[in-house]
Structure formats: structure tokens, C-alpha cells
Amino acid sequence: MTRKTALILGARSDIALAVAREFAAAGWDLQLAAREAGRLADDRADLELRHGIAVSLHDFDALAIEGHTAFVAGLPVLPDLVVCAVGFMGDQTASEGDPAAAVLVMRSNFEGPASILAVLGNAFEARGSGTLVGISSVAGERGRAVNYIYGSAKAGFTAFLSGLRNRLAKKGVHVVTVLPGFVATHMTEGMDLPARLTARPEEVATAIRSAVERRRDVIHVRRIWRFVMLVIRAIPERVFKTMRI
Amino acid sequence: MKLSGWGRYPVLEARLGAPRDLDALGEHVRAGAAIARGNGRSYGDSAVSPDNTVHMRHFHHMLAFDPTTGQLVAEAGVLLADVIAAFLPRGWFPAVTPGTKFVTLGGMIAADVHGKNHHRDGSFASCVDWIDLMDATGRLHRCSRDENAELFGWTLGGMGLTGIILRAAIRLRPVETGWIRQTTKSAPSLEAAMAALEASDEATYSVAWIDCLGTGAQLGRSLVMLGEHATRQELSGPQAANPFAMGPRRRLSVPVDAPAALLNGLTVRAFNALYYWKGTRGAGTRLVGWDGYFYPLDGILGWNRIYGRRGFVQFQCALPPDTAEAGLRALLRTTSQAGAGSFLAVLKRFGTADGPGQFSFPMPGYTLALDFPVRAGTERLMDRLDAITLEHDGRFYLAKDARMSARTLEQSDPRTAIFRAGRARMGMRPAFASAQSERLDL
């Protein structure tokens, strides 16, 4: 049996590397794509040594949209699975005051990821198989005062993934939306996150593999988030705007 | 944040950083009073610096493996458990392993750990080909027997006080299976146990588990356990078809702190009696899996909590051949009289191998390891055991220590002054420091 290949976009993030380890342990070959992919050389050696799989590194800039088609055409093989872990939280206060900062957050979380998944989705559609995993966020489920720039971009990405799934479902291509909730990563280092709501990157990776194997559509990582978001979505806007949440 | 070692005593307030790359690591080191921390499995305060503890978890990459020599190059934060998981299926096993697999490569080098094969193969240093060490300015130095040999020697067993161990090349040993042919013999006394260990010099692995509550004629009664890597011919059935696969191991865990009162003379006595009885009945030879053989306590996650909230302390000394029997007798008698009890009492004969480690713990003779819950009277007992060790020309294992005095260390080991002076001369003091090095004036 030939081995399957997973492409991981935004591969330098903690979640992406945990996903890489998860699929490597399951015997998948990997394509790791990120800006300055050369900095992943140690990770490549480690994954190959531990798991006896093949790993290739690819320079990839989610914001350089004009290069996305060429990027996909240039991959050594069209992967069986894509996990998009591209994202950038930015600084909400800066985003409020500086349109350029806000646009960067929006492009990094919506435009860039949607663009590359559109190209890959078309290639998968032509082949008639494949799985696309987009890591979005619970922040996209409702606009909150403290992170709505990031949240609005993630909302766009979540809607994009939903639409892509519904279009490609008839073509043998599956799309998974991941809404991780809080994750203890470099991005959230130093933030005071509630322990029960905060997943480790390895939990996210395990949840993603399980979702891929079981062809789930939308997943949270820790179940408690389903209830948290149920409550948050149920609060009337009239009340929500008076809350500090 | 609060940090402690595996014994959960002492608990210290410490600043903890976890750099992600070399530049950030260099910055941490230049801040001074730095000590690297791996998986926190040294028992006391070796891997805690109140001002600057540097967690090595992000340096966890395996970098290269040469199947012709068995040499693995890896970063210091790699766990031994991961090395086994990756390489045992390919027929390789650590050449030297301590009693837990949840230790990092850097930690094993810093403590120059030993295993059940010390009498034949020496300490962990024997399988270390080279180390990349970061100095106080953030510069890296390749250290080996030929290159920066002095630094290499002081780093093996140097408790992280010579710099930050970043990478190392270690050699693994080829094995045909994941199984160990274990032979258990019961020894009714200390004398018999020592005789059995002396007589088993040919065995690859040897260790004695002592029922440390035995008194009088039963003082030091033991189970002597010998082991050999099983060959393929020794396996049959499904094992032979898949010689490295083990069934899933049942994991127990200690989810909460045991009330200290639970661990008293009676329960320890019962446990020891049961273990000894079980061992005696199981005497003879049988095949056991590598995990249960080398890492029996790893099967009980969080076993350190069994001693209760106040934690526990380990005592481990080495005694030279001439005084070993008298010294061990005095140590065991004192422990037994105190009724303090130790679940774990391990006796091991060290070999004469002269490794490169200049501050390593092992020396020819015997080593005895005991552990005690921290409570009233423990400190006094430990002081007594220290004094007995000194009277018998013994020395102490710093990876286990949490409370010894600087004076005791100085008296036990003439290398202490040389190590201290060398640290000062090579710019390592006070650039690298742990709570332990401050306490012991290293």
C-alpha cells in the first residue's frame, strides 16, 4: 500500500507541528509549508527519524495569493489531506486604531487561507478525492468587543469552509472545520487562560485525525466548548452589548 | 511559579522560561544564575534555580541516526521514552538506562546516570560520544574525549553546572528482541545478597531489591534479579513473529496524594513482605517485557504522590568495596530501627569502569538507594545515614539529594573543591546555578 501524504499549511505553528507528529505517527508522509520553511529542518529530521516517513519542506506565504496556483502545481505530489493552520491573532487595540493592522489580521485569517484552500479544493475536485481541514475559531461564532477583528475574519473562514464542504461533498471531497477554543501555544503564551477550556496542541491534533478518519464536518476539541458557545450564541444582542465578555 | 523535583521536596518559588530557539536560549543564559531543566525527574532541587530555571522542552528534536554504529544525535530535551519508542522496533535499545524512561537526554548526561549494567558497561557517560554545550556567553562548544576534553569530563555528572547541554550524540546497543530473560534468586541476608551479586558479574544486568525492614538475621534479605536481552531463538509463538511488540501495559495511576498516615511501618512492612514472598515464589527464570523490567515504577503514573503532600526524600550513597558490607549493614540497621521504612530499597554493585565523567557519582563498590516520606524525624535519620556513609568513605548521588549540607559533600568527596574551583576559573560560577549548587556551595 502506498503511503498517504498530508500537506500542512502554516507548519511552524505549535498546532501544525502537533498535527505533523500525529499524522507522522500514523505513517503519513508530510509536506510542511510555511514562510522560511528552512527553519523546519530540525522538525523534518525529527519526524523522519522517529516515524520512518518522508517529509518535504515548502516555502509558502498565505498572503502571497498570486502564487497559490503555482504553489499547488509545484508540489511533488497532490496530497490526500490538507490541514490549514495559517492564522494570526494580531493585537485587537492596534487593529481598532490602524486599518492596515486590521486588514493584515483579516487577510491572514480569511483571505489567505480561503485562497489556498480554493485552489486545493479545485484540484481535489478534479481528482475526485481528498480531505481539507481548516482550523478556524470559536471567535468566529459571535463578534466580541475584545477580538472582533480576528473573530470576523474567522467567521468568514468558517462560512467559506461550510460552503466549500457543501459544494465538494458531491464530488468525493470532504471538508472539516475545526473550532479549537483556547489552545496553549506560542500565540497564547503568557495569557491567563482557564485550564478546563484550554487544550494542548496534541489534543487538537488527535481530534483532527479522528475527524479526518470519521469524516466529521465541524468539530470542537474540548466538548465543553459546544456548551460554552451554545450559551454565548443564545444571549440576545441587547444584553450581550452590556456585558464585558 | 512553584517548582520542585520528583520528590516534591523542597518546593521553591522560581522564574521559569522556555526558550524556543538558540537566540532565545542564549538570552536566558546571559541573564545569569541559569540552570537547565528537563523533565524534572531529579529528586530534589538540582533542576531549580529560583532566579532563572530554563525549561528545555522546546529542544526535543532527534537529528540523525547512523544504523551502522547505533549513534543517535538528538537535542537535550528528547525523552528516553521517545528514543525507545522510535528505535526499539528497529532493534536498538539505550546502552545505559536509569530506572525511569521519563528522563531527558540532557538530564541523563548532567547526572551521569547509571543502570543495572554498570558493573559491566559503566555509567551513561560510556555511551556519550559528544555534547554541544552552551557557555555563559551563549556560545556553543562541541565537547568530546578529544575536543574540549576537560569540559566534556566535568559536564558528565556536572549537574548542569558547566553550561546548558543542548545536543548530544549517544550510542544505542543492538538487541534482537524487546524481551529480557530475568532470573530471580532470593537471598536470605545481606551477605548472601552481596555474594550473589559478586557471583553474577557475567550477567548483563544485575540488581538486588532489599526488604529494608528485615532485622536481626534477616537484615538485608533480598531478591537478586539478573537479566539478559533475550535472543530471537528464545521466543515462540506470537512473540517470535513480532519480537519487539509488547502487549498494552496496564497503567495504574496515583491520582491524589495519599494521606501521610497511610504510609507507616505497618503498610511498608506488609508491602515488603508481600513483594519478597511473591519474588521468592517466582524465583527462577522467565521472560519479561523491557518496560516492566527496566521501568517498573513508570507503570504507576505519579507514584511520587504515594508519599503524601509533603513529598519524600531519597537517600543514595556509594561505598567502596572494602567498607561496603559494614557500611550497608549500619545503614540498613539504622533505617530499620527508625522504623521509617522505604518502599524502594535497591542495592547495586558498581563496576570498576573508569568513565570520562570527572564529577560522576558511581565508583567501584556498592550503591544503596532508599526513600522516605518527609515528616518529623526524617531529617535526623538522613543525617545519621550521611554520617554512616562518611564513616565508611562513601559518597552521595546529587541527582537524589535535596537536603545534604555543603560540609557533608565536601567531606565525602575530594573532587568537590576541584569542581568548585574549575567552575570559577571557567566562568561557570555564578553564571550557572541551581538551588542545590547554592546549598552545596558548588
Q: What is the pLDDT of residues B213-261, one digit of tens each?
A: 777 888 888 999 999 999 999 998 888 889 998 866 555 666 566 555 4
Q: Is the pLDDT of residue B48 over 80?
A: yes
Between CA B113 and CA B72 the distance in angstroms is 18
Amino acid B297 reads L
Amino acid B207 reads V
Contacts of B63 in chain A (CB under 8 A): 42, 45-46, 49
Q: How many CA atoms does the CB half-sphere of A214 hold within 13 Å?
A: 10
Provide the residue count of chain A: 245
Reported as a single tens digit per residue, the pLDDT across B290-328 is 999 999 888 776 777 777 778 888 999 999 999 999 999
Cβ <8 Å between B63 and A50? no
Residue whose C-alpha cell is 539529594: B401
Reported as a single tens digit per residue, the pLDDT across B321-373 is 999 999 999 999 998 888 766 767 899 999 987 789 999 999 999 999 998 88
Say what the pLDDT of residue B33 is: 97
Residue of chain A nearest B87, judged by CA positions? A50
CATH code at B179-405: 3.40.462
Say what the pLDDT of residue B302 is: 74
Domain count for chain A, please give it: 1
The b/e string for B89-100 (b: 16+ C-beta within 10 A; e otherwise) is eebbbbbbbbbb
- Cell representation of residue A51: 516515524
SS (H, E, C) A163-202: HHHHHHHHHCEEEEEEECCEECCHHHCCCCCCHHHEECHH
Contacts of B64 in chain A (CB under 8 A): 45, 49
Weakest mean pLDDT among B72-81, B254-263, B274-283, B366-375: B254-263
| Contact in structure between A60 and A9 (CB atoms under 8 Å) | yes
Say what the pLDDT of residue B118 is: 97
Say what the pLDDT of residue B204 is: 97
Between CA A54 and CA B361 the distance in angstroms is 42
Between CA B112 and CA B123 the distance in angstroms is 6
Contacts of A45 in chain B (CB under 8 A): 61-64
End-to-end CA distance of chain A: 51
Mean pLDDT of B157-164: 98
Cβ <8 Å between A50 and B82? yes
- Cell representation of residue B384: 545519621
Between CA B372 and CA B176 the distance in angstroms is 39
Cβ <8 Å between B86 and A42? no
Beta strands B312-319; B395-396: pairing state: antiparallel
The sign of the torsion formed by the CA atoms of A199, B249, A28, B75 equals positive
Mean pLDDT of A98-117: 97
Q: How confident is the model at residue B278 (pLDDT cuts 50, 70, 90)?
A: low
Reported as a single tens digit per residue, the pLDDT across B114-140 is 999 999 999 999 999 999 999 999 999
Between CA A105 and CA B232 the distance in angstroms is 59
Amino acid B303 reads W
3-class state of residue A48 by DSSP: helix
Between CA B138 and CA B27 the distance in angstroms is 7
Q: Is the pLDDT of residue A192 over 90?
A: no
Between CA A52 and CA A29 the distance in angstroms is 9
- Establish if A45 touches chain B: CB-CB under 8 angstroms: yes
Say what the pLDDT of residue B247 is: 67
Between CA B121 and CA B351 the distance in angstroms is 8
Q: Is the pLDDT of residue B63 over 60?
A: yes
Say what the pLDDT of residue A149 is: 96
Non-local (6+) Cβ contacts of B324 within 8 A are B194, B365, B366, B392
Phi, psi of B94 (to 5 degrees): -55, 135
Mean pLDDT of B9-13: 94
Between CA B45 and CA B369 the distance in angstroms is 18
Rounded to the nearest 10 degrees, the angle between the axes of helix A41-51 and helix A14-25 is 20
| Contact in structure between B20 and A186 (CB atoms under 8 Å) | yes
Say what the pLDDT of residue A189 is: 81
Task: Determine the distance in angstroms separating the CA of A199 from the nearest CA of chain B, rounded to an integer.
Answer: 18
Residue A137 lies in a domain: yes
Residue of chain B nearest A21, judged by CA positions? B61
SS (H, E, C) B394-425: CEECCCCCCCCCHHHHHHHCCHHHHHHHHHHH
Is position A148 annotated as part of the catalytic site?
A: no
- Cell representation of residue B422: 574549575
Cβ <8 Å between A45 and B63? yes
Cβ <8 Å between B86 and A186? no
Say what the pLDDT of residue B258 is: 59
Q: How many CA atoms does the CB half-sphere of A104 hold within 13 Å?
A: 13
Beta strands B16-17; B12-13: pairing state: unpaired
Reported as a single tens digit per residue, the pLDDT across B188-209 is 999 999 999 999 999 999 999 9
Between CA B182 and CA B279 the distance in angstroms is 12
Contacts of A186 in chain B (CB under 8 A): 20
Say what the pLDDT of residue B341 is: 65
* Start-end of H helices in B203-254: 237-241
Cα angle B12, B257, B435 (rounded to 5 degrees) comes to: 15
Q: Is the peptide bond before B255 cis (omega within 30 degrees of 0)?
A: no
pLDDT, averaged across chain A: 95
pLDDT, averaged across chain B: 91
Task: Determine the distance in angstroms separating the CA of A88 from the nearest CA of chain B, rounded to an integer.
Answer: 18
- Cell representation of residue A136: 478556524
Q: What are the extents of the domains in chain B? A: 179-405
Cα angle B339, B343, B344 (rounded to 5 degrees) comes to: 115
**CATH number of the CATH domain containing A220:** 3.40.50.720
Between CA B416 and CA A29 the distance in angstroms is 51
Phi, psi of A5 (to 5 degrees): -120, 135
Percent of chain A with pLDDT over 70: 100
- Establish if A41 touches chain B: CB-CB under 8 angstroms: no
Q: Is the pLDDT of residue B11 over 60?
A: yes
- Establish if A12 touches chain B: CB-CB under 8 angstroms: no
Beta strands A55-59; B365-373: pairing state: unpaired
Task: Determine the distance in angstroms separating the CA of A46 from the nearest CA of chain B, rounded to an integer.
Answer: 5
| Contact in structure between B16 and B48 (CB atoms under 8 Å) | no
The catalytically annotated residue of A71, A110, A150, A225 is A150
Name which residue leads in pLDDT, B278 or B287.
B287
Cβ <8 Å between B63 and A46? yes
Chain B residues within 8 A (CB-CB) of chain A? Answer: 20, 60-65, 75, 82, 85-86
Cβ <8 Å between B75 and A42? yes
Reported as a single tens digit per residue, the pLDDT across B368-426 is 999 888 888 899 999 999 999 999 999 999 999 999 999 999 999 999 999 999 999 99
Cβ <8 Å between B64 and A42? no
Contacts of A50 in chain B (CB under 8 A): 62, 82, 85-86
Q: Is the pLDDT of residue A97 over 60?
A: yes
Residue A118 lies in a domain: yes
Q: How many CA atoms does the CB half-sphere of B279 hold within 13 Å?
A: 23
Domain holding A182, by residue range, is 5-240
Name which residue leads in pLDDT, B284 or A80.
A80
Non-local (6+) Cβ contacts of B141 within 8 A are B132, B133, B134, B135, B148, B151, B163
Residue A245 lies in a domain: no
Say what the pLDDT of residue B97 is: 98
The closest of A203, A244, A206, A197 to A225, measured between CA atoms, is A197
Between CA A80 and CA A87 the distance in angstroms is 22
Of B20, B61, B85, the CB nearest to A46: B61
What is the C-alpha radius of gyration for chain B, rounded to an integer number of angstroms? 21
* Start-end of H helices in B47-110: 80-87, 105-110
Task: Determine the distance in angstroms separating the CA of A5 from the nearest CA of chain B, rounded to an integer.
Answer: 21
**What burial class does residue B2 get, using C-beta atoms within 10 Å of its C-beta: 0-12 exposed, 13-18 middle, 19+ buried?**
exposed
End-to-end CA distance of chain B: 25
The closest of A85, A75, A64 to A22, measured between CA atoms, is A85
| Contact in structure between B212 and B347 (CB atoms under 8 Å) | no
Contacts of A51 in chain B (CB under 8 A): 86
Say what the pLDDT of residue B238 is: 86
Q: How many CB pairs under 8 A join A and B?
A: 23
3-class state of residue B234 by DSSP: helix
Weakest mean pLDDT among A151-155, B263-267, B315-319: B263-267
Q: Quick check: ipTM above 0.90?
A: no
The closest of B293, B312, B301 to B369, measured between CA atoms, is B312
Cβ <8 Å between B61 and A42? yes
Of A45, A49, A186, the CB nearest to B86: A49
Task: Determine the distance in angstroms separating the CA of A47 from the nearest CA of chain B, rounded to an integer.
Answer: 8
